[in-house]
């Protein structure tokens, strides 16, 4: 099977599974993304572990799970974030504080070289993977806009991410001539990037006519954030792989590589999307 068809089948399968989970249960979606988060954390820590870097991968993975699960409980348990328990709403933002500082203590007892690098990479894994993934659950809350049983913002976010990535890949592969960022990602082209951005913005316009309850400005801002921050998320992951002299972050997803290869655009764009809509919807 060619890489194109493997990539297509894997991508469509992920889309189908996530949309089905979103339709049936917020808990199912949260569970699927928890598995993705754990696999991503393990993949990340495995990639950067070497002679000069020894992250606390067991702690980092466990802390990532705690952070993710805490966010899921706040978002999905009825009444968990009621006005009389306002502190619960801030738990996903307060919990990282102790979780981030515990690695400094643990490193004292490990007897590994380069302790500062070990602590830093442990914390980076938690913030780079677990936190962005957990923030997406906010948009699956029952009080957030739904259409035909699906959370509008979350489905729009996934749609824009996959459409932008797919169009940029296909158009760039077929017609791309001018390199976009050759030092980091030699295969990316301006033609593919521009085509992906244009189609994504057109889809945003179309979705506004389908779901007018979300203003056009919000649709366009969501698409623009996916395009800008998603592109930089992809570039950073390419930079990480280039620094490690590897082609793919893993081989768990046929045609895509690893978890980081498939979800790299979301890891950088998700916090900005969350911040924008948090102030728009929840405050």
The tokens describing 250, both together, are: 């893993």
**pLDDT reading at 4 higher than 70:** no
What does the pLDDT read at residue 44?
93
Q: Which tens digit of pLDDT belongs to each residue from 47-75?
A: 999 888 999 999 999 999 999 998 888 88
What is the mean predicted confidence (pLDDT) over 203-231? 93
Question: Of 84-93, 140-149, 152-161, which range is least confident?
Answer: 84-93
- Report residue 42's pLDDT band, with 50, 70 and 90 as the boundaries: very high
What does the pLDDT read at residue 276?
92
What is the mean predicted confidence (pLDDT) over 216-226? 95
What does the pLDDT read at residue 60?
95
- Report residue 255's pLDDT band, with 50, 70 and 90 as the boundaries: low
How buried is residue 132: exposed, middle or buried, by Cβ count under 10 Å (0-12/13-18/19+)?
buried
What does the pLDDT read at residue 78?
63
To the nearest whole number, what is the mean pLDDT of the chain?
Answer: 85
pTM: 0.89
C-alpha span between 98 and 91 (Å, rounded): 12
What does the pLDDT read at residue 1?
47
Range ranked top by mean pLDDT from 6-10, 32-36, 138-142: 32-36
- Report residue 254's pLDDT band, with 50, 70 and 90 as the boundaries: low
Answer for the pair 75, 52: CB distance below 8 angstroms, yes or no. Answer: no
Please indicate whether residue 136 or residue 3 has the higher confidence score (pLDDT): 136
**pLDDT reading at 196 higher than 60:** yes
Please indicate whether residue 27 or residue 117 has the higher confidence score (pLDDT): 117
What is the mean predicted confidence (pLDDT) over 207-220? 92
Size of the chain, expressed as the number of residues it contains: 283
**pLDDT reading at 83 higher than 60:** no
What is the mean predicted confidence (pLDDT) over 98-102? 93
3-state secondary structure the chain: CCHHHHHHHHHHHHHHHHHHHHHHCHHHHHHHHHHHHHHHHHHHHHHHCECCECCCHHHHHHHHHHHHHHHHHHHHCCCCCCHHHHHHHCHHHHCHHHHHHHHHHHHHCCCCCCHHHHHHHHHHHHHHHHHHHHHHHHHHCCCCCEECCEEHHHHHHHHHHHHHHHHHHHHHHHHCCCEEECCCEEEEEHHHHHHHHHHHHHHHHHHHHHCCCCCHHHHHHHHHHHHHHHHHHHHHHHHHHHHHCCCCCCCCECCCECHHHHHHHHHHHHHHHHHHHHHHHHC
Residues β-bridged to residue 18: none
**pLDDT reading at 172 higher than 70:** yes
Please indicate whether residue 5 or residue 149 has the higher confidence score (pLDDT): 149
């Amino acid at each position: 099977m060619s890489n194109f068809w493997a990539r297509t089948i894997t991508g469509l399968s992920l889309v189908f599974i996530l949309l089905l989970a979103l339709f049936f249960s917020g808990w199912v979606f949260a569970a699927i993304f928890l598995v993705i988060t754990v696999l991503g954390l393990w993949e990340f820590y495995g990639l950067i572990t070497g002679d000069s870097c020894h992250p606390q991968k067991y702690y980092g993975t466990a802390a990532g799970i705690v952070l993710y699960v805490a966010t899921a409980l706040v978002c999905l348990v009825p009444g968990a974030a009621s006005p009389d328990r306002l502190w619960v709403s801030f738990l996903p933002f307060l919990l990282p504080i102790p979780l981030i500082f515990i690695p400094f203590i643990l490193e004292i007892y490990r007897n590994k070289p380069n302790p500062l690098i070990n602590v830093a990479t442990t914390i980076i894994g938690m913030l780079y993977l677990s936190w962005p993934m957990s923030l997406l659950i906010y948009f699956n809350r029952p009080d957030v806009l739904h259409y035909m049983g699906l959370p509008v913002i979350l489905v729009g976010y996934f749609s824009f991410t996959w459409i932008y990535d797919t169009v940029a890949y296909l158009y760039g592969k077929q017609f791309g001539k001018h390199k976009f960022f050759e030092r980091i990602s030699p295969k990316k082209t301006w033609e593919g990037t521009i085509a992906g951005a244009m189609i994504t913005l057109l889809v945003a316009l179309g979705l506004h006519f389908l779901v007018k309850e979300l203003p056009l400005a919000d649709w366009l801002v969501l698409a623009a954030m996916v395009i800008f921050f998603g592109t930089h998320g992809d570039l950073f992951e390419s930079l990480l792989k280039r620094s490690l002299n590897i082609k793919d972050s893993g081989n768990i997803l046929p045609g895509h590589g690893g978890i980081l290869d498939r979800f790299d655009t979301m890891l950088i764009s998700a916090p900005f999307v969350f911040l924008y809509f948090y102030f728009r919807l929840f405050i």
